[in-house]
Amino acid sequence: MQNLDDRFPAISDLAAAAKCRIPHFAWEYLDSGTTDDVAMRANRTALDAVRLVPRFLKGDQSPDLTCTLFGQEYGAPIGMAPVGLTGLMWPGAEAMLADTARRGRIPYCLSTVAAMTPEEVGPAAGDYGWFQLYPPRDPELRRDVLARAWESGMKVLALTVDIPAPSRRERQRRAGLSIQAGVSRQMLSHIAVRPRWALATARNGKATLATIVKYAGTTDLEGLRRFFTERFIHNPDLSYVEALRQDWPGALVVKGILSAEDALEVVERGADGVWVSNHGGRQFDAAPPAIEALPRVVEALAGRAPVIFDSGIRTGLDIARALALGADFCFAGRPFLYGVAAAGQAGADQALHILRDDLDNAMRQFGAETLAELRRPGGIAP
Ligand code: FNR
């Protein structure tokens, strides 16, 4: 039996295995962008185009990947981005990912619309839990969700603002996935092919939007969807950032920023950090690649708040690229889900191992012993 590192030396190997192992609708949910997948592909093209100029003659080096963000020390500048319906890709995936994150000393950010609750995931994440918020309309409901996340040990809150309206997500529709009703129908159709997966996931599927079940008073998918649509805001305004600043005792990050103007405004209203992202190309097919938006945000903020980056990261070299362009920390979404769908807990561990090991290697090739040295002048090829 080959070891995992030889079977899955790259994230693309985990993705290929995941595609064979999970049903088509779950794969399409995980892997797709929106419209023609232009923004998703552009994230990759733009990252590939960032060239770093190596320096040599520095003697032997051993890179230090550790860093501190919002007062917490992390083992590497990479975290697990929030992914809705995570348990749809693999039963219990949220807890597995949180466990990998805690052991690897990296953040795990639980989505508001995951299939497990903060109470279930918080202990698995230990000191490394973050919570992503889709904003409830009602302040009471908001405070209750926030209290649950905080009491479950999650110390950083990410408010997602880049879904002003649902995106069309044509590939998901073609594959028959919709939160409306399709999830359970598709699961049933899968039972004949992979019964254990389907049964476990169907149990989990009942609890999709698990955090919200408490308020909706139903586990029926259509009822949950209606509750979510009516009681949550798609497009919060700046006063919502201020309200969160009042309600949340920990660090507050705004996720989904692509313009310098929005970055400055949210920091003005009390955000502690700005998360540059185009949602992995899943929302607006004309959005710029997040890596192109990053330097403009970094320049505008000029050190006033840390800048987090995601969208397209598939290698440790990509993390080095983002840090060279001024990011303080990176996240990845799909890579960890590919891992868990390919090989369960061991696959999640392998995804993290690939990203860390490749970042270590990229730093050696580039000639940087610390993460700060990745930003050296002249490091980016013109
Ligand atoms: C997401 N993303 C996301 N973001 C968020 O704030 N809340 C959510 O519930 C979700 N759900 C979600 C589901 C799936 C299947 C994907 C792939 C992504 C976006 C996610 O947090 C992150 O921004 C992107 O995944 C980053 O791009 P990469 O790393 O997947 O290329």
Chain segment 32-77, per-residue pLDDT in tens: 999 999 999 999 999 999 999 999 999 999 999 999 999 999 999 9
Mutate which of 83, 132, 171 for ligand 1 pocket (most atoms within 8 A of beta carbon): 83
**pLDDT top residue among 213 and 132:** 132
Q: How confident is the model at residue 90 (pLDDT cuts 50, 70, 90)?
A: confident
What is the pairing mode between strands 72-74 and 67-69?
Answer: antiparallel
- CB under 8 Å to 15, separation ≥6 — which residues? 31, 334, 338, 342
If you write DSSP's letter for every residue of 201-262 in order, what string do you get?
HHHHHHTTTHHHHHHHT---HHHHHHHHHHHB-SS--HHHHHHHHHH--SEEEEEEE-SHHH
Q: Name which residue leads in pLDDT, 91 or 301.
A: 301
Sign of the CA dihedral 371, 310, 241, 157?
negative
Instruction: Name every protein residue with a CB atom under 6 angstroms from any ligand 1 atom.
Output: 29-30, 81-84, 111, 113, 132, 160, 255, 277, 279-280, 282, 310-313, 332-334
**Is 279 an annotated catalytic residue?**
yes
**Spatial separation of the C-alpha atoms in residues 147 and 137, rounded to whole Å:** 16
Q: How far is CA 353 from CA 43, 54, 357, 377, in A?
A: 22, 24, 6, 29
> By the 8 A CB rule, do 316 and 356 touch?
yes
Residues 6+ apart with CB under 8 A from 30: 18, 22, 83, 89, 334, 337, 338, 341
DSSP 52: B
**277 in helix, strand or coil?**
coil
pTM: 0.95
Q: Is 84 annotated as a binding residue?
A: yes
Higher per-residue pLDDT: 226 or 181: 226
Share of the chain above pLDDT 70, in %: 91
Cα 79 to ligand 1 centre (Å): 12
- State in Å: Cα 213 to ligand 1 middle: 21
CA of 279 to the centre of ligand 1 (A): 5
Q: Inform me whether the pLDDT recorded for 133 exceeds 50.
A: yes
> Quick one: average pLDDT of 260-275?
98
pLDDT for residue 26: 86
**The one catalytic residue among 190, 234, 279, 353:** 279
pLDDT tens, residue by residue, 274-331:
999 999 999 999 999 999 999 999 999 999 999 999 999 999 999 999 999 999 999 9
- Phi first, then psi, for residue 131 (nearest 5°) are -125, 135
Contacts of 202 (CB under 8 A, 6+ apart): 184, 187, 188
What is the tens place of the pLDDT at every residue in 168-222?
A: 999 988 887 655 434 555 555 554 455 555 555 555 555 568 898 889 888 777 7
Whole-number pLDDT of residue 196: 56
81 φ, ψ to 5°?
-70, 155
Cα 114 to Cα 81: distance, rounded to the nearest angstrom: 12
- The CA-CA-CA angle for residues 186, 191, 197, to 5°, reads 95
Domain ranges of the chain: 4-54+68-371
Q: What is the mean pLDDT of the chain?
A: 92
293's tokens = 């938006």
The residue among 381, 369, 300, 297 whose CA lies nearest residue 66 is: 369
On whether the CB atoms of residues 95 and 123 are closer than 8 A, the answer is no
- Is the domain defined by 4-54+68-371 classed in CATH 3.30.70.20? no
